[in-house]
Amino acid sequence: MRQQQKAPIDYQLDYMERLFYKIKFKKTESYVIHRIWDKLDDTRIRFEIQQPIKLPNGKTVLADLYLPQLGIFIEVNEPYHENEQQKLADEYRNKAIIDITKDNLFVIQCGISDRAGEWRTLKEIHQQIDEVVSTIKKKIAETPDLKPWNTSECLTVEYHKKKGVFNLNDSLRTIDDICAVFDTMPKHRGYLRMGATPVPGHENLEIWYPIKDNNKGWKNERKDHDDTIIEYHEDEDKRTKHVAAVIKDNHQRITFFRSEDALGIVLYRFLGVYQLDISKSEELGKCVWKRIRTDYQV
């Protein structure tokens, strides 16, 4: 009997730890964002760092901090931003961000505006942070329909069992959790976990948790806005045998695709129920899966 997998670290804790780790070498930016997070003290609000924005001149810039639920960007400017050339570049960048996104942008100035290269005092920086946090809190109070960042709750087996239906992009953190929603466990052959698990009580259904590619030669290509997934092995002989076996079984697959975000957090996202297109699979010599549903009642 296999031991039940221990619960993973809370998603929001994992997310914030990774977020701060990613900017650990940007000392001033890290300090300011840490303080905003601590002073705000509201886990309903999601923080996103290094948000890419394409400017009209074709360049892509990374915004220091973005609060997507509130439409707020925050930039942290160190003293080097105070030279004239950098000021002009910042003005263009900030105006472009506002024009493109229609969101609000606030700047924490850590340098003295008329003395390039000189730092403001910690007290002065804190005062600016306090003003920004006050503005954020005011915006929260003025947003009655705020959708809280409660990803940790939405990633549990209990949540999905109670919800009773999987919809597009619903997610779970592990394969064991996916299978637990269906009151089963991942299927193994010896010590190796198989790529799909039968759904109890449904002979023609299995749970599939593909990855884009792995170190064993398997590939899964998402096409047509996820309406199609092409599954195959790099080795021609293995590919041919697999296609034949899958055509013979002809199961539908409840599919959770493994994804990894910019912080390295792995989630399995529900993409729908897929049916094998036998004629296309025979034509390509690869398994061609077509989406037939975007939800599934548990």
Q: pLDDT tens digit string along 189-222?
A: 555 567 899 999 998 999 999 999 987 899 999 9
* The pair of three-digit structure tokens given for residue 227, joined into one six-digit string: 């309406």
Collect the ranges in the chain with pLDDT lower than 50.
1-2
Domain that holds residue 281: 159-297
**What's the pLDDT score for residue 2?**
44
pLDDT for 129-139, tens place per residue? 999 999 999 99
Tell me: do 128 and 191 sit in the same domain. no
Global pTM reads 0.78
Tell me: do 119 and 18 sit in the same domain. yes
**What's the pLDDT score for residue 83?**
58
Answer whether residue 151 is part of any domain: no
- Strand bridging mode 218-223 / 228-233: antiparallel
**What's the pLDDT score for residue 4?**
54
Tell me: do 227 and 115 sit in the same domain. no
Contacts of 219 (CB under 8 A, 6+ apart): 212, 213, 230, 231, 232, 233, 234
Tell me: do 170 and 276 sit in the same domain. yes
Residue ending a domain, among 76, 111, 142, is 142
Q: Label residue 170 exposed, middle or buried (CB < 10 Å: 0-12, 13-18, 19+).
A: buried
